[in-house]
A = this chain, B = another copy of it.
Amino acid sequence: MSEQTQWLDRDERRAWRGYVAMSEMLEARLGQDLRKAGLSSADYTVLVLLSEAPERRLGLGELGAEAQWSKSRVSHQIRRMQERELVERTEDADDPRRAHAELTERGAEALRAAAPLHVAGVRRYFLDHLTREQQTQLVEIARSVLPHLGPAPLPPELREGKGGEEA
């Protein structure tokens, strides 16, 4: 049974380590910027999702699904954000088990304050250094890889469009 491990060759290692180095640094930088604005990356994600949702509220389940988070993570995250009054918890009319998170004015404010800085960071650290062609290549790469990373459907942005799904 025990197949010999196929180690990475030079080119593969280049691709992998390059990718890892980039993604770790990127996350570090963007995280730092957000933290200076008083938010964690997770906070920011939640605020964006809520702000994009109709009524600025979302069931914890949907939230978890969109962010690809475990329910435990969602629960902790929302509790902490609630303590800081960035979100409010509201009950479900139909099913008392269900909980919703709703953006507070304070939360919306925090997002308005952080978003421009964050977007500027995304440009400065990342997008500014890619050609349009490289952006397209990256989208194709994500479309190739994502389906193999779990049961989650592709995020809406990558769904339609001209890119080829694999057989």
Q: Are A15 and B148 in contact (CB under 8 A)?
A: no
Q: Are B138 and A7 in contact (CB under 8 A)?
A: no
Q: Are A15 and B135 in contact (CB under 8 A)?
A: yes
Q: Are A25 and B130 in contact (CB under 8 A)?
A: no
Query: In the docked arrangement, what's the CA distance between A141 and B149, Å?
Result: 22
- 0/1 per residue, A1-41, Cβ < 8 Å to B? 00001111001111111110111111111000000000000
Copy number in the complex reads 2
Q: Are A119 and B149 in contact (CB under 8 A)?
A: no
Binds B, one of A74-82, A91-99, A100-108, A120-128: A120-128
17 pairs of residues in contact across A and B, judged by CB atoms under 8 Å: A7-B119, A8-B119, A11-B135, A15-B136, A16-B122, A17-B158, A18-B139, A18-B155, A19-B138, A19-B142, A25-B68, A25-B146, A124-B148, A125-B145, A130-B141, A130-B144, A134-B137
Apart from A11-B135, A17-B158, A134-B144: 16 A-B pairs, beta carbons within 8 A: A6-B123, A8-B127, A12-B127, A12-B135, A14-B157, A15-B139, A18-B142, A18-B157, A21-B68, A21-B142, A21-B155, A23-B23, A28-B68, A129-B145, A130-B145, A138-B141
Q: Please list the residues of chain A having a beta carbon within 8 angstroms of any beta carbon in chain B.
A: 5-8, 11-19, 21-29, 68, 115-116, 119-120, 122-130, 132, 134-146, 148-150, 152, 155, 157-158, 161, 166
